[in-house]
Amino acid sequence: MQLERILQKHGFGTRKGCRSLIRQERVAVNGAICDDPFADVPTADLVFSVDGVDWAYCEFATVMLHKPAGYECSRKPQHHPGVLDLLPLPLRERGVQPIGRLDEDTTGLLLITDDGQLNHVLSSGKRKVPKVYLATTKHPLDQAQLDQLLGGVLLHDEPEPIAAVAAEAVGPNLLRLTLTEGKYHQVKRMVAATGNRVEALHREAVGGLALPADLQPGEWRWIVAVDLEKLVKTV
């Protein structure tokens, strides 16, 4: 693939802008400066750099983000900063978007991609991809509440009761809940249906992929092949 097309694909601007970057000798291919925009570069295992920052060639860009509170999962946020502001500009320019949404006050694992098929697979309710949440509740949990969540609770505007795949009290006011749907404010509404209330909410895992312990709030990381396997193995 021509080098200018590789840069454009990875969000470094228009063809003309990418051509200029290359001719200014700001681009290196596998460690060597290349000033020819039309150079035919093999994409297998390609690592290129722009202004000294390395980028691995990827057909689709998929990353995980430790979403902090106070950010909206929208490309056009209205009341708070958007989660995409936490990513570098080239990634944003590729047109990545969150897979599903977390509320502004919810923290934890958020997947972001420009792979439409992956987005569909992981966000479709029919696929029943499990998502694990840790909810801090206002009132102490009891077995009756857990039984309600596991047996199914009826939510407003839903024709049938909705049940959790798993519900476990890991502390007096700490609930670990596994769901396979992605309905609006689902965790909060389900807990409210049991007579309790969610005070804080954190997503720990999607599919078989857990939020890495060393990924701090606001930090992001590339999704690699082994991560993708964990994501889709439950689909």
State pLDDT tens for residues 112-169: 999 999 888 888 777 788 999 999 999 999 999 999 999 999 998 888 899 999 999 9
Structural domains of the chain sorted by starting position, each given as residue range(s) with its CATH number in brackets: 3-56 (3.10.290.10), 62-125+208-232 (3.30.70.580), 130-206 (3.30.70.1560)
Per-residue pLDDT at 231: 80
Q: List pLDDT tens digits, range 72-88.
A: 998 777 888 999 999 99
As a whole number of angstroms, the distance between CA 151 and CA 161 comes to 8
45 noted as active-site residue: no
Q: pTM for the full model? A: 0.89
Please pick, among 36, 103, 105, 114, the residue that the annotation labels catalytic. Answer: 103
As a whole number of angstroms, the distance between CA 102 and CA 74 comes to 10
Q: Looking at this protein, which amino acid is placed at residue 60?
A: F
Across the range 178-192, mean pLDDT stands at 91
